[in-house]
Amino acid sequence: MATKKPATRKATKPVRCPDCKDAGQTSETFQVGARKKHDSPHKQEALCLTCWGSGEAPA
């Protein structure tokens, strides 16, 4: 009898994350002030919540 070969998966190219464009981080505005919070004109880097910093779109 012939033995069967195990099935192999085809290697696929990872899909880029639509939110961070393969960077893993996004820039966000933030609020400043104790009582009257106002938006700062500066940006801060934050981890992309869609791909959790991997840069690949979730399956």
Percent residues over pLDDT 70 in the chain: 97
In a domain, 55, yes or no: yes
In a domain, 4, yes or no: no
Confidence of residue 45 (pLDDT cuts 50, 70, 90): confident
In a domain, 21, yes or no: yes
In a domain, 19, yes or no: yes
Closest CA to 17 of 44, 39, 58: 58
Domain assignment of residue 57, given as a range: 15-28+43-59
In a domain, 49, yes or no: yes
User: CA-CA distance, 24 to 46, in Å (whole number)?
Assistant: 9
User: CA-CA distance, 48 to 36, in Å (whole number)?
Assistant: 28
In a domain, 50, yes or no: yes
Contact 45, 25 (CB under 8 A): yes
In a domain, 23, yes or no: yes
User: Could you give the number of structural domains in the chain?
Assistant: 1
For the stretch 19-39, pLDDT in tens is 787 777 888 888 888 888 888
